[in-house]
Amino acid sequence: MARVISDGCVSCGACEGACPVGAISAGDGKFEIDKDKCIDCGACEGGCPTGSISAE
């Protein structure tokens, strides 16, 4: 199961730096998580200042 980023994302990039496997990148208006790379560790969720990341 991968994490997902909601529309509450403000594109700050905190999650991208927190991801140990590089599964997060900038998308259209918000960051996106590559479900094939995500190891569901939760590091991005803890690093998101807006709480916009959750389990799928």
DSSP 9-50: -----HHHHH-TT--EEE-SSSEEE-TTT-----HHHHH-TT
- Domain limits, the chain: 3-55
Please, are residues 19 and 48 in contact by the beta-carbon 8 Å criterion? no
pLDDT the model gives residue 47 = 92
Whole-model pTM?
Answer: 0.88
pLDDT the model gives residue 56 = 82
C-alpha span between 2 and 38 (Å, rounded):
6
pLDDT the model gives residue 43 = 96
C-alpha span between 38 and 26 (Å, rounded):
15
What mean pLDDT is predicted for residues 22-26?
97
When the candidates are 2.40.50.140, 3.90.550.10, 3.20.20.70, 3.30.70.20, the CATH number that belongs to 3-55 is 3.30.70.20
Six token digits for residue 19: 């991801």
What mean pLDDT is predicted for residues 3-18?
96
> Does the structure show a pLDDT above 80 at 1?
no
